[in-house]
Amino acid sequence: MRDRLFFMRNVPRGTFCTEDCCLLRFCACCAAPKRAFHDSGELTENLRSNNYDVIITCNSQGSMIKFKVFVVRYGGCPMLLMKEMNFVDYRAEVAKTRAIILPVGAFEVWGPHLPVGADTLVAEEIANRISEKIGWVVGPSVPVGYSESLFAPEGGTITVRPESLRNYLYDIVESLAETGVKRFCFVGPHLGNVPIITEIATHLRRTRNVKCCLIDWWRIIQPICKGILKYDGRPAHAHAAEAGTSTFMYLRPDLVKAERLKDVGLAANEYPDIPQFAPFVETYPEAHVGDPTPASAEKGEQIVGKTVERVVEFLKQWH
């Protein structure tokens, strides 16, 4: 095994990396490594103007060469994840803000094209982006929520009882509040968790004078999406439709099965104003609603960028 460093610029402290790998068949006469290096050089030039660095390494063995491209983003604040911090650094960071970001997600069917952990992954990705812009610590994520309405008998959804989620989440927040945290920013895309978060937040404000806010992702993006998406209203924002799929194409394109995108339309309902509590997968066997086919990473980038900017603007003035 030979390791060769093809390219490395100055990488400042407080950066983080995302890794993209590809395998190339090595041929002595085709100069594949040279072409890969040339492509990476072009990528580097495109990224320089946006405060990015690129590190390219190459591992070769036999007839295979594996290139690793590390894209390093810097500028703003380093991302602060409590699970990766020692207690000394954690205490120092929290003392600056007395604030914590808490991602609260869900595991449920999200169409054949998106992962079942979509809400959890979005909550974590958005929490991380907020952290690096404002310098707040991201606390432990709660990956599974109340998803009874999307339960799928054949598998794909995990749900917990409302009281289980309430007790677990309350204990986390209470534990943090006892150590001096005065503000909690919940990032909770899943609608089924909203009443539980609301109950906990209201109780904390009354009993401890602790402030809480909720970034209800799939609702807060709706006015921002006007002019970005092809559709509007429910066709755009229904479960795993254009808005959700675009968001995922930008945040985690590696997890999107684009070949499975399919327009399933909206089920006819003469009384949409009256809740009827029909199991979701009975009405929508494909586990998604509407038409995700117009979705794109470019749309997702606009949605995420503008919404995170608005959230950060709010948090900076929220005391």
Residue 102 placed within a domain? yes
Q: Considering its fold, how many domains does the chain have in total?
A: 2
Burial of 42 (0-12, 13-18, 19+ CB in 10 A): exposed
Residue 273 placed within a domain? no
- In tens, the pLDDT along 103-124 reads 999 999 999 999 999 999 999 9
- In tens, the pLDDT along 215-243 reads 999 999 999 999 999 999 999 999 999 99
pLDDT at 77: 63
What contacts 44, CB < 8 A, 6 or more positions away?
A: 7, 9, 53, 54
- Domain shared by 175 and 306, yes or no: yes
Burial of 263 (0-12, 13-18, 19+ CB in 10 A): exposed
User: Given a cut of 70, is residue 60 above it in pLDDT?
Assistant: no
Kindly state the percentage of the chain with pLDDT values over 90: 69
- Domain shared by 99 and 240, yes or no: yes
Question: What secondary structure, in 3-state letters, does the chain show?
Answer: CEEEEEECCCCCCCCEEEEEEEEEECCCCCCHHHHHHHHHHHHHHHHHCCCEEEEEEEEEECCEEEEEEEEEECCCCCCEEHHHCCHHHHHHHHHHHCEEEEEECCECCCCCCCCCCHHHHHHHHHHHHHHHHHCCEECCCECCCCCHHHCCCCCCCECCCHHHHHHHHHHHHHHHHCCCCCEEEEECCCHHHHHHHHHHHHHHHHHHCCEEEEECHHHHCCCCCCCCCCCCCHHHHCCCCHHHHHHHHHHCHHHCCHHHCCCCCCCCCCCCCCCCCCCHHHHCCCCCCCCCCCCCHHHHHHHHHHHHHHHHHHHHHCC
Q: Which residue has the higher pLDDT, 277 or 120?
A: 120
- Domain shared by 102 and 211, yes or no: yes
Residue ending a domain, choose from 73, 108, 125: 73
User: Given a cut of 60, is residue 34 above it in pLDDT?
Assistant: no
- Can you give the residue range of the structural domain that contains 309? 80-267+278-317
Sign of the CA dihedral 44, 48, 50, 54? positive
pLDDT at 272: 85
- In tens, the pLDDT along 155-164 reads 999 999 999 9
- Domain shared by 16 and 155, yes or no: no
Residue 105 placed within a domain? yes
Residue ending a domain, choose from 43, 73, 103: 73
pLDDT at 76: 54
Residue 302 placed within a domain? yes
- Domain shared by 175 and 51, yes or no: no
Per-residue pLDDT band for 269 (boundaries 50, 70, 90) equals: confident
- In tens, the pLDDT along 176-200 reads 999 999 999 999 999 999 999 999 9
Helical axes 297-317 vs 242-251, angle rounded to 10°: 90
Q: Name the least confident of 7-16, 86-95, 248-257.
A: 7-16
Residue 26 placed within a domain? yes
Residue 272 placed within a domain? no
pLDDT at 226: 95
- Domain shared by 148 and 284, yes or no: yes
Report the chain's terminal Cα–Cα distance, integer Å: 55
Which of the given ranges, 34-38, 55-59, 130-134, has the highest pLDDT on average? 130-134
- Domain shared by 35 and 150, yes or no: no
- Domain shared by 193 and 103, yes or no: yes
- Domain shared by 103 and 35, yes or no: no
pLDDT at 37: 35
- Domain shared by 162 and 43, yes or no: no
Residue 47 placed within a domain? yes
In CATH, what number is assigned to the domain containing residue 122?
3.40.50.10310
- Domain shared by 27 and 69, yes or no: yes
User: Given a cut of 60, is residue 12 above it in pLDDT?
Assistant: no
- Domain shared by 148 and 68, yes or no: no
